[in-house]
């Protein structure tokens, strides 16, 4: 256990915060990635349709994917802020469940977007040649895994151990 400013921080709290930081970094990298789909002609980003036709995406499923991923990233950022505020104020127990609920909502949104994207992409057959989902899409799954890991760690009942140590 790490001692800091008169209170005890359990290693699970620090691991959860590290997972949360990794999830946010991966979610942002996935959003900004230039390669969600690659083919013989090149790569296609999540925002590619925005660059081709400024201000409008071509299909509703592209808009839905972007909205779901942006909302998941926003919820992850808000949970990071909540987690950092609770660490700074020392009010860990009060904020665990709120952060966990935000993260579970972010995981649900992220997974829905990551399932929707390949199904509708293949269904619409945007690329008429051989294509595969690339590292940008994989970063999205990595973000979802780290979000879920952080949510699980925040759901654990560490308050029992905190009360025993104080």
Q: How many domains does the chain have?
A: 1
Q: Are strands 37-39 and 42-44 parallel, antiparallel or unpaired?
A: antiparallel
State the virtual CA torsion across 113, 118, 122, 128 in degrees, nearest 10.
110
Tell me if 37 sits within 8 A of 49, measured CB to CB.
Answer: no
Residue 55 has pLDDT above 50, yes or no: no
pTM metric for this prediction: 0.78
Residue 62 lies in a domain: yes
Using the predicted structure, report yes or no on whether residue 160 has a pLDDT greater than 90: no
Q: What is the CATH number of the domain that holds 26?
A: 1.20.120
Instruction: Indicate whether 40 belongs to any domain.
Output: no
Does 48 reside within a domain? Answer: no
Question: Highest mean pLDDT range out of 24-28, 41-45, 127-131?
Answer: 24-28
Please indicate, yes or no, if residue 24 is contained in any of the structural domains.
yes
d(CA 83, CA 150): 11
User: Distance between terminal CA atoms of the chain?
Assistant: 13
Whether residue 74 lies inside any domain: the answer is: yes
pLDDT digits (tens, 9 = 90+) for 129-151: 667 888 888 999 999 999 999 99
Q: Note the pLDDT tens digit of each residue in 84-111.
A: 888 777 766 667 788 889 999 999 999 9
Range of the domain at 97: 10-33+58-158
């Amino acid at each position: 256990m790490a001692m800091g400013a008169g209170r005890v921080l359990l290693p699970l709290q620090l691991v959860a915060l590290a997972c949360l930081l990794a999830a946010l970094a991966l979610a942002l990298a996935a959003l900004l990635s230039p390669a969600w789909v690659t083919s013989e002609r090149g790569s296609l980003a999540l925002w590619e349709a925005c660059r081709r036709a400024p201000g409008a995406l071509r299909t509703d499923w592209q808009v839905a994917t972007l909205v779901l991923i942006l909302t998941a990233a926003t919820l992850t950022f808000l949970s990071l802020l909540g987690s950092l505020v609770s660490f700074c104020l020392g009010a860990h127990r009060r904020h665990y469940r709120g952060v966990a609920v935000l993260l579970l909502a972010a995981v649900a949104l992220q997974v829905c977007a990551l399932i929707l994207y390949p199904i509708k992409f293949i269904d619409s057959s945007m690329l008429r040649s051989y294509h595969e989902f690339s590292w940008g899409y994989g970063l999205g799954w990595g973000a979802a895994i780290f979000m879920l890991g952080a949510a699980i760690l925040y759901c654990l009942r560490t308050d029992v151990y905190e009360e025993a140590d104080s």
